[in-house]
Amino acid sequence: MATTPALKRSESIADSMPEALRQSRYHMKRCFAKYIEQGKRMMKLHSLMDELEKVIDDPAERNHVLEGLLGYILCTTMEAAVVPPYIAFATRQNPGFWEYVKVNANDLSVEGITATEYLKFKEMIVDESWAKDEYALEIDFGAVDFSTPRLTLSSSIGNGLSYVSKFLTSKLNASSTSAQCLVDYLLTLNHQGDKLMINETLSTVSKLQAALVVAESSISSIPTDTPYQSFELRFKEWGFEKGWGDTAERVRDTMRTLSEVLQAPDPSNFEKFFGRVPTVFNIVLFSVHGYFGQADVLGLPDTGGQVVYVLDQVVAFEEEMLQRIKQQGLNVKPQILVLTRLIPDAKGTKCNQELEPIKNTKHSHILRVPFRTEKGVLNQWVSRFDIYPYLERYTQDASDKIIELMEGKPDLIIGNYTDGNLVASLMARKLGITLGTIAHALEKTKYEDSDIKLKELDPKYHFSCQFTADLIAMNSADFVITSTYQEIAGSKDRPGQYESHSAFTLPGLYRVVSGINVFDPKFNIAAPGADQSVYFPYTEKQKRLTDFRPAIEKLLFSKVDNDEHIGYLEDRTKPILFTMARLDTVKNTTGLTEWFGKNKKLRSLVNLVVVGGSFDPTKSNDREEAAEIKKMHVLIEKYQLKGQIRWIAAQTDRYRNSELYRTIADSKGAFVQPALYEAFGLTVIEAMNCGLPTFATNQGGPAEIIVDGISGFHIDPNNGDESSNKIANFFQKCREDPEHWNRISAQGLKRIDECYTWKIYANKVLNMGSIYTFWKTLYKDQKQAKQRYIDTFYNLEFRNLIKDVPIRIDEKPEGPKER
């Protein structure tokens, strides 16, 4: 088979496209004429290809064209803006590398254009006068971000921490005096005013180096387990403070590591040393929207994986911090606060409780602060899409509470999702604290053409506020934590979530010519895990939560329809195909139900069990959920699924859910995550942790979690027949060879243990907190300049935009009045 020719590295699309068009000039003239035939419009790759197929009807001829350079160029096209006689192409040969060209359909002349020019083509389609406005606002973060080093390879994206260590060590290596910045930094370390590591006696590199030699040799002769207190006084005289270690052995090792860093800095010693430096004792995490609680909240609108992620993250952080603090020889209690919204009308949850200790931790709490408006405290839940007008005031209220409870400033702030990230960045800016952000999912990529469709979508989703807040947060962040590579830079065929913010336009509002650079070393992949004390393999018989058995038996097999389940399973000997998700459109639960309905073979092999949503659309106060509920009912009717489907309403008990996954595994079933797009997909790793073979969408994070055919399977949510056949073939194969099921189950578990645990995560993120805190001190001026730009953007743009978002009026009797 002929292989598609890629361009040589040195060649641009603008250089090679004229020749490619010339080779098939006859067909291309017709094809481009077809592209412009319908006038101005946006075209995606599939429509470009469809039109090409229509023009070249001879398959051999068509293949010839597509296998040539032109086929390659078209395949790198992410979208095209048609403004006759031009077609402007946005091409992407590799993650993060974009090139824009315009082709004149009349004479096929090609010209390279800038991102700005390309965006203007897009704008011409929806708002010509704005596109032509010479003074239209352009947002260019690149212009205020020029001195920090950048990565250059797509393959390095997401490995920020290790590159920052490399950049830093080469900076420290630059001259005999350049390590002074490290000494200066160490001199600033303290806990509530008590100095740590070194004091002013050791204010230069040479003094520190000499003292390290003396100190190291003085402890080389004492027993390795001698506690720090035994030699603390002597060390203090030399200029050392607490924080080096709890025993002579640990202190010596930390000192040796620093000596080596000062002698000839290398990234691995540098990272090791910074993994030990005592910098982070108090952390604040923001997860503002949704019902955030430890019980009875999962599955409610807007309350899904983020809550699970944040709570598990806290447990992992606290464990890791306690271990580090002990090894540093310090007697400090770490504090972690999760800041969320207090919702007075809490619907039976604890979301109206101000302070709640976090389970499985000693020192961590959820702190709930209400939203306030001019009318007082807001009682009810507010959708994440409508949340923006409350955030500034919330930041102020939350900051006051945090400082009161922590008796000082935190050392690290981490935001979650657009709202939490905005609040976190406002607070970090105000208090001068290191900021990490996490997006879980940026909404921009979830909706096709969400940028130029602003006018259509904004009244419903308030994307103008959301994208503005996202830009502010990602540019304010000292480091960005992502769960997968695709979240940052996508895959070969699909741009990443962050990448999609590098150049886009909101016609009528502003044009982003440089929103974020995915080669910025602030980007890091740290994948979450699932709580392994809850989600453990079905084979661990002695740990199984057998108390849930009768309830699960009823949930799956009782024949009545009630508020918790509808439908029934006629033949209970069949394996169960299982899915569980919030009933959002993007989760595609209805898609899976339809695939199942259509596929006779699959229906003969398995039963379908769906967990999600509720059954009465009129009772849902979430726009998308109500539509999906209706669709589920229609599909069950249309495909006559009763007898083969069990639809269970959203479940809120993670322990019972874990036993549900394991019960499905007992049936030799499988889990399916069919989302149209999934940022990460916690259910995927929960299922795999329970030993359940898993089929997950190839659109987004799950494609990285699972190695297709080895530790589970990828399915294409846009190709239902192919996906349902793949699932059916698996069950057919398992019938013929039961070992097949066991193999996939075991490989899934292996994959989890190697890459997706909270221990790995906590270690990485705390190292980020430590290293980026040092890193930002070296680029202080640059950071300040950028902050000024962000402040202007926030003040002039964001504050204006929120005025268009309606403030929610409480439906119930008024809540507590403002003090």
In this chain, which stretch among 220-228, 305-313, 514-522, 655-663 interacts with ligand LCN, using CB under 6 A? 305-313
In the range 419-478, which residues lie near ligand LCN by CB under 6 A?
440-441
Beta pairing partners, 286: 339, 415
Q: What residue 474 binds from ligand LCN, ligand UDP, none (CB within 5 to 8 A, per partner kind)?
A: none
Distance separating alpha carbons of residues 419 and 425, to the nearest angstrom: 10
Write down the least CB distance from residue 309 to ligand UDP, Å: 7
Helix, coil or strand: residue 569: strand
Q: Which tokens is 631 given?
A: 């669709």
Per-residue x/- mask for ligand LCN, residues 703 to 722, rule CB under 6 A? --------------------
Distance separating alpha carbons of residues 778 and 114, to the nearest angstrom: 32
Q: Which tokens is 782 given?
A: 């640059």
Distance separating alpha carbons of residues 110 and 117, to the nearest angstrom: 14
Distance separating alpha carbons of residues 17 and 108, to the nearest angstrom: 10
Q: By the 8 A CB rule, do 267 and 169 touch?
A: yes
- H helical segments located in 289-390: 305-327
Whose structure tokens read 């001199």?
Answer: 187
Q: Which tokens is 508 given?
A: 């009528």
Q: By the 8 A CB rule, do 420 and 287 touch?
A: yes
Q: By the 8 A CB rule, do 287 and 307 touch?
A: yes
Closest to ligand UDP by CB, 372 vs 446, is 446
User: Is 770 a residue that touches ligand LCN (CB under 6 A)?
Assistant: no
Beta pairing partners, 140: 514
Q: By the 8 A CB rule, do 518 and 489 touch?
A: yes
User: Is 485 a residue that touches ligand LCN (CB under 6 A)?
Assistant: no
Write down the least CB distance from residue 657 to ligand UDP, Å: 5
Residue type, 505: T
Write down the least CB distance from residue 742 to ligand UDP, Å: 24
Q: What residue 651 binds from ligand LCN, ligand UDP, none (CB within 5 to 8 A, per partner kind)?
A: ligand UDP
Write down the least CB distance from residue 690 to ligand LCN, Å: 16
Q: What residue 423 binds from ligand LCN, ligand UDP, none (CB within 5 to 8 A, per partner kind)?
A: none
Q: By the 8 A CB rule, do 295 and 350 touch?
A: yes
Write down the least CB distance from residue 508 to ligand LCN, Å: 29
10 Å CB burial of residue 321 (0-12, 13-18, 19+) is buried
Give Cα 484 to chain centroid, integer Å.
7
Write down the least CB distance from residue 606 to ligand LCN, Å: 25
- 169: nearest Cα among 158, 160, 182: 182
User: Is 682 a residue that touches ligand LCN (CB under 6 A)?
Assistant: yes
User: Is 79 a residue that touches ligand LCN (CB under 6 A)?
Assistant: no
Q: Which tokens is 693 given?
A: 């073979």
Closest to ligand UDP by CB, 267 vs 612, is 612
Distance separating alpha carbons of residues 632 and 647, to the nearest angstrom: 9
Closest to ligand UDP by CB, 681 vs 693, is 681
Q: By the 8 A CB rule, do 464 and 506 touch?
A: yes
Neighbours of 367 (CB within 10 A): 18
- H helical segments located in 523-609: 549-557, 589-598, 600-605
In this chain, which stretch among 3-11, 93-101, 304-312, 535-543 interacts with ligand LCN, using CB under 6 A? 304-312
Give Cα 462 to chain centroid, integer Å.
20
Write down the least CB distance from residue 617 to ligand LCN, Å: 23
Closest to ligand LCN by CB, 458 vs 584, is 584
H or E segment and range at residue 128: helix 128-131
What are the DSSP E strand ranges found in 5-96?
41-44, 77-83, 86-94
Contacting positions for ligand UDP (CB under 6 A) = 298-299, 304-306, 308, 580-582, 611-612, 650-651, 654, 657, 680-683, 686
Write down the least CB distance from residue 126 to ligand UDP, Å: 30
Q: What residue 258 binds from ligand UDP, ligand LCN, none (CB within 5 to 8 A, per partner kind)?
A: none
Write down the least CB distance from residue 299 to ligand UDP, Å: 3
Distance separating alpha carbons of residues 761 and 650, to the nearest angstrom: 28
Q: Which tokens is 381 given?
A: 């839940």
Closest to ligand LCN by CB, 289 vs 365, is 289
User: Is 677 a residue that touches ligand LCN (CB under 6 A)?
Assistant: no
Q: What residue 575 binds from ligand UDP, ligand LCN, none (CB within 5 to 8 A, per partner kind)?
A: none
Distance separating alpha carbons of residues 484 and 494, to the nearest angstrom: 14
Closest to ligand UDP by CB, 476 vs 689, is 689
Write down the least CB distance from residue 696 to ligand UDP, Å: 10
Closest to ligand UDP by CB, 654 vs 668, is 654
Closest to ligand LCN by CB, 202 vs 441, is 441
Distance separating alpha carbons of residues 641 and 588, to the nearest angstrom: 17
In this chain, which stretch among 425-433, 472-480, 680-688, 748-756 interacts with ligand LCN, using CB under 6 A? 680-688
Closest to ligand LCN by CB, 131 vs 307, is 307
Closest to ligand UDP by CB, 581 vs 592, is 581
Write down the least CB distance from residue 437 to ligand LCN, Å: 13
User: What is the distance between the terminal CA atoms of the chain, rounded to a whole angstrom?
Assistant: 75
Q: What residue 582 binds from ligand LCN, ligand UDP, none (CB within 5 to 8 A, per partner kind)?
A: ligand UDP
Neighbours of 523 (CB within 10 A): 29
Q: What residue 320 binds from ligand LCN, ligand UDP, none (CB within 5 to 8 A, per partner kind)?
A: none
DSSP class per residue in 188-255: H-EETTEE-SB-GGG-SHHHHHHHHHHHHHHHHTS-TT-BGGGTHHHHHHHTB-S-S-SBHHHHHHHH
In this chain, which stretch among 35-43, 303-311, 490-498, 653-661 interacts with ligand LCN, using CB under 6 A? 303-311
Write down the least CB distance from residue 525 to ligand LCN, Å: 13
β-strands 607-611, 644-648 pairing:
parallel
Q: What residue 292 binds from ligand LCN, ligand UDP, none (CB within 5 to 8 A, per partner kind)?
A: none
In the complex, which residue's CB is closest to ligand LCN? 305
User: Is 414 a residue that touches ligand LCN (CB under 6 A)?
Assistant: no
- 609: nearest Cα among 581, 638, 639, 637: 581
User: Is 679 a residue that touches ligand LCN (CB under 6 A)?
Assistant: yes
Closest to ligand UDP by CB, 79 vs 686, is 686
Write down the least CB distance from residue 701 to ligand LCN, Å: 6
Q: Which of 270, 309, 596, 671 binds ligand LCN (CB under 6 A)?
A: 309
Q: What residue 581 binds from ligand UDP, ligand LCN, none (CB within 5 to 8 A, per partner kind)?
A: ligand UDP
Q: By the 8 A CB rule, do 248 and 222 touch?
A: yes
Distance separating alpha carbons of residues 666 and 129, to the nearest angstrom: 63
Write down the least CB distance from residue 417 to ligand LCN, Å: 8
Closest to ligand UDP by CB, 51 vs 302, is 302
User: Is 654 a residue that touches ligand LCN (CB under 6 A)?
Assistant: no
Write down the least CB distance from residue 745 to ligand UDP, Å: 19
Write down the least CB distance from residue 202 to ligand UDP, Å: 48
Closest to ligand LCN by CB, 257 vs 698, is 698
Contact set with ligand LCN (CB under 6 A): 305-306, 309, 440-441, 483, 678-682
